[in-house]
């Protein structure tokens, strides 16, 4: 299945902010309120907010798309961006584990699952330092 451009941009924006365990669930045959969930988490409430901001900014810039509803910005433990056709959930690891949306919607097909398949990008090699003796 080809990923919708908006979902692809969500995943890309979240990944650029070092979101962890990015997952897209296809809920079209399981839900009346949305078609997809994008789920990820950050290492701190600050990172959660940065990820949510990046997703929101990317969708606004590329598609002139604004969320219909936003929740959770005050505390930064779980930010929900509701774009009607899809909902973006950005958690702290603790809140993601507690709410366990992946388990709740466990029968939904995973159309993107970067939870274990993505390793960090390789670090750029620095040029060797000149030796003091040479």
Query: pLDDT per residue over 50-74, tens digit each?
Result: 999 999 999 999 999 999 999 999 9
* Fold (CATH) for 27-113: Beta Polymerase; domain 2 (3.30.460)
Read off the pLDDT of residues 94-128 as tens digits, 9 standing for 90 and up: 999 999 998 999 889 888 777 654 434 444 455 56
Contacts of 99 (CB under 8 A, 6+ apart): 78, 91
State mean pLDDT over 1-14: 86
Rg over alpha carbons for the chain, rounded to the nearest Å, is 17
Average model confidence (pLDDT) across the chain: 86
Is the whole model's pTM more than 0.95, yes or no?
no
Q: CA 98, CA 116: separation in Å to the nearest integer?
A: 20
């Amino acid at each position: 299945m080809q990923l919708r451009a908006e979902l692809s941009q969500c995943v890309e924006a979240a990944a650029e902010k070092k979101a962890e365990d990015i997952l897209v669930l296809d809920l079209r045959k399981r839900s009346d309120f949305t078609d997809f969930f994008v789920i990820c988490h950050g290492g701190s409430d600050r990172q959660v907010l940065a990820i949510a901001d990046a997703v929101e900014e990317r969708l606004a810039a590329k598609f002139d798309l604004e969320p219909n509803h936003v929740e959770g910005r005050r505390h930064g433990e779980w930010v929900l961006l509701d774009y009607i056709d899809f909902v973006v959930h950005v958690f702290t690891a603790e809140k993601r584990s507690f709410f366990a949306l992946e388990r709740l919607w466990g029968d939904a097909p995973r159309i993107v699952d970067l939870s274990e398949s993505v390793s960090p990008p390789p670090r750029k090699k620095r040029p060797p330092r000149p030796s003091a003796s040479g």
